[in-house]
Amino acid sequence: MAAGNYGYAHSAVNSGNFPARHFGGPRRREVALLGFDREVTTTDATTEAARRSLEPPTYEDALYFGIAHPDVQDQGPVVFLHDPWLGFFGRRDVLCLWSNAGRRELGLEGFDDRWSPSYRFAFVLAVS
């Protein structure tokens, strides 16, 4: 998280809840962002991603993306629909990058929430 240089990071985004996993060495992962012109559900977003042959991200993808592309979240929130973390009060949460008052933030959003058109969804291009 320190490498992301965030002005704010949710206190639950830590190595206990989101441990670093090693995938047998470095992986090159290209992230594609999907936007919608209407309110959508997670199912809507993942169905469109599958139609485009995009794969679900991992939470590591969110962290690396935030480091590599710090200006993208200034254009609107970016949600990573990885396997959700069971958060506070039983809510299933995923990582989200956004900006607030001119500072970059790393937070959690509810996996089962409805998403306004301002949100974009990060998926991974399938490797052939």
pLDDT of 26 over the 60 cut:
no
CATH class of 2-11+30-125: alpha beta
Separation in Å, CA 69 to CA 15, 61, 81, 83, 113: 22, 11, 18, 22, 25
In 3D space, the residue among 20, 11, 17, 9 whose CA is nearest the CA of residue 86 turns out to be 17
Which pTM value belongs to this model? 0.91
pLDDT of 96 over the 90 cut:
yes
Q: What is the pLDDT of residues 53-63, one digit of tens each?
A: 999 999 999 99
Separation in Å, CA 10 to CA 38, 57, 93: 27, 20, 12
pLDDT at residue number 2: 73
